[in-house]
Structure 1
Amino acid sequence: MTQDNPDAPLSDFLPFLLFQAAELSSRNFQHHYQSRYGMLRTEWRVMFHLGSTGDQTAKQICNRASLHKTKVSRAVKALEEKRFLKRDTISTDRRSEQLCLTKQGKAVFADLTHVATDFDQRLEQSLGTQEHERLVATLQKLIALHQ
């Protein structure tokens, strides 16, 4: 949208562009966790949060990952069936469970972390280091503005 032409299509509407870029990047990376470990996107996101920040409840993951509780619940069940995570009831609140990666889950996370690093380096090479750094900084500012 330009100020000169308010009727222009939304093809340069920032939220749309951010969504498109995120969706396409995510689909390109999806191949790695899906073909190696049979994981779906939400399962990867749950594993990413557990691997990056440590043990959490499903509610904490929902809040941090902006995911609906039903999707997180399904992902947790699938990851548990794959023996990538385990649940422990919290003694002070029997309605909640602490989720943590198993030894196997930590190995999968470590492998996918290396794959993600390589994936990101290829993106950086495509964009150039300065443009990549500016994009990361800009995205971090946008996230901070909306938290």
Structure 2
Amino acid sequence: MPDAPQIQNATTLPTTTQSLPVSLIRAREAVMAPIRKMLQKAGITEQQWRVLRVLSENGRTDAGMLANRAALMSPSLSRIIQSMENSGLVSREADQNDRRRQYISITASGQAIIDTHLAEASDIAAYYRDILGDEDHDTLVALLQKLALGLDDQSQDT
């Protein structure tokens, strides 16, 4: 028996092939596949890699800013930092004036992971840029940042 035809109207969802959320998930999985292989060799998680990258780029960072820049929720970051501290990848210290505020720093061991995998990570990033071309790559990144910022702004208004 043939499938019933789809009725299109203003309240119909786009097909999954045209859905922004589904397209983003598919793109994320495709983008992350080679990165996951690299991280498996490094023995760290995606989240740990992001934390190390942010700390390597920015130096000592307070936990709130680190969570924001590494795209992690604060409760998740607390767990991740504890594990990374136990592994010797990061260190943390309390602010002398506000004991609730913590600063996180990358250790030599954490930086060694970045340094060891820098060439491979750069090759992966260059591969994505090659697929899209410089202009489309930069446009895509800018559009995704614009979308995220717009959705963040909207959620703060409600």
TM-score > 0.5 by shorter chain: yes
- Partner-residue secondary structure (3-state), 2:88: coil
Alignment match, 2:24: 18
Query: In structure 1, how many angstroms separate the alpha carbons of the residues matched to 2:108 and 2:66?
Result: 20
Q: What amino acid does structure 1 have at the position aligned with 2:24?
A: L
Query: In structure 2, how many angstroms separate the alpha carbons of the residues matched to 1:138 and 1:3?
Result: 27
Alignment match, 2:128: 123
1:30-109 paired onto structure 2 within 5 Å: 30-36=36-42, 38-109=43-114
Gaps of 5+ in 2: 1-7, 153-158
Query: In structure 2, how many angstroms separate the alpha carbons of the residues matched to 1:53 and 1:144?
Result: 21
1:86 Cα offset (Å): 0.7
Kindly indicate whether the alpha-carbon contact (under 8 Å) linking 1:42 and 1:71 is maintained by their aligned counterparts in 2.
Answer: no
Name the larger-Rg structure.
Answer: 2
1:101 Cα offset (Å): 0.5
Runs (4+) of structure 1 moved beyond 6 Å? 2-5
1:102 Cα offset (Å): 1.0
Report how many aligned residue pairs link the two structures: 145
Aligned sequence identity (%) = 27
Kindly indicate whether the alpha-carbon contact (under 8 Å) linking 1:48 and 1:109 is maintained by their aligned counterparts in 2.
Answer: yes
Quote the RMSD (CA, aligned, Å).
Answer: 2.6
- Partner-residue secondary structure (3-state), 2:12: coil
Query: In structure 2, how many angstroms separate the alpha carbons of the residues matched to 1:113 and 1:56?
Result: 21
Q: What amino acid does structure 2 have at the position aligned with 1:46?
A: V
Q: Compare 81-90 and 14-23 and name the one that shifted more.
A: 14-23
Q: Compare 50-59 and 96-105 and name the one that shifted more.
A: 50-59
Alignment match, 2:3: none
Q: What amino acid does structure 1 have at the position aligned with 2:89?
A: F
Query: In structure 1, how many angstroms separate the alpha carbons of the residues matched to 2:132 and 2:28?
Result: 15
Over residues 21-57 of structure 1, what are the superposed CA-to-partner deviations in whole Å (9 max), with x where a residue is unaligned?
1233123302112212x11122112112212222122
Query: In structure 2, how many angstroms separate the alpha carbons of the residues matched to 1:7 and 1:16?
Result: 12
Gaps of 5+ in 1: none
Q: Does 1:136 align with 2:141?
A: yes
